[in-house]
Amino acid sequence: MIRTPEHLRELLQKLDDLAAVAGVGFRWKVNGAMLLPEPDLPLRTGYHDGESFCTAVKRLPGGESGCVCNDSREIAARLRNGDGPFVKRCHAGAVEVILPIAAGRGKAPGVVMAGPFREPGGNCRFPELEEEFRQLPELSREALAGYIRLIPPLLREPVRRAYLEGAGILPVYPADERIAGLLEKVRENPLLTPDELADGLFLSKSRLFHLFHAECRIGLGEYLLKLRLREARRMLLYGDWPISRIAVRTGFADQSHFTALFRREFGLPPMKYRREFGRAPA
């Protein structure tokens, strides 16, 4: 069983509070190399768990693949283009409010997806599910404006603490602004090398290593490795890509080396970890 770590508990509580008050789901997905759920959060924060319309859609031929395309391709593409917040209609006709949560100077660490709703006058694209579609709450202009105005400020600090203050990896958050800025860069792109990071700060690599360890109480190389392994873990659990493809996508040219490092970090080799903890795409 994967338990929610301390650095994510405040975010989880806020998402559950919002769902209880609004009466709709609030999904959270990490905006990394791909848009993926967070494995250290319960299923309800990554999926429309128990939502009758979405469950019925996924049972139809091509229904689940349409859901995957909506999240992993269409929403992800709009986020890469800098869109947000926005309303996204899925292949079944329901809509979600997509709210990137910007908690620093760079790319938003993740997005909240509120819904599903039906728009005023909206139509279900599967006639056999019309009854379930009509049971979805209607998304009024006033409700949409309220979500956009209220939710990002409410979640900004929990997201910052969860993802910008070391993602549960750093023993100490740095006081030095140069290292704090570096953390934002590697959060957006953990494939950056120490040489590239040192050049960006006009420091020698040895000076950067010394400064990073003094500020954060962990080596820069170890920190970068842990970030990349966590991104690999998300890909592993929420899809069926071959291990070799995940390894390359997260910066490991040698699959056997990746497997050894993954096992050291998470206690199981990648395929066994997927079999034990993997979650179907949604």
Would you kindly state where each structural domain of the chain is located, as residue ranges? 6-164, 177-277
Average pLDDT over residues 74-90: 88
pLDDT > 90: percent of the chain:
56
Residue pair 236/254 in contact (Cβ under 8 Å)? The answer is no
* Amino acid 17: pLDDT: 94
Indicate the class that CATH gives domain 6-164: alpha beta
Return the CATH number of the domain spanning residue range 177-277: 1.10.10.60
* Amino acid 281: pLDDT: 47
Question: How confident is residue 282, by pLDDT bands cut at 50, 70 and 90?
Answer: very low
- What would the pLDDT profile of 21-45 be if each residue is shown by its tens digit? 998 999 999 887 778 888 888 888 8
pTM for the structure as a whole? 0.84
- What would the pLDDT profile of 127-174 be if each residue is shown by its tens digit? 999 999 999 999 999 999 999 999 999 999 999 888 877 677 888 889
Range with lowest mean pLDDT among 43-52, 171-180, 240-249: 43-52
Which residue blocks in the chain are alpha helix, DSSP H?
Answer: 6-22, 52-59, 63-69, 76-80, 130-134, 141-159, 177-188, 194-200, 205-216, 220-237, 243-249, 255-266, 270-277
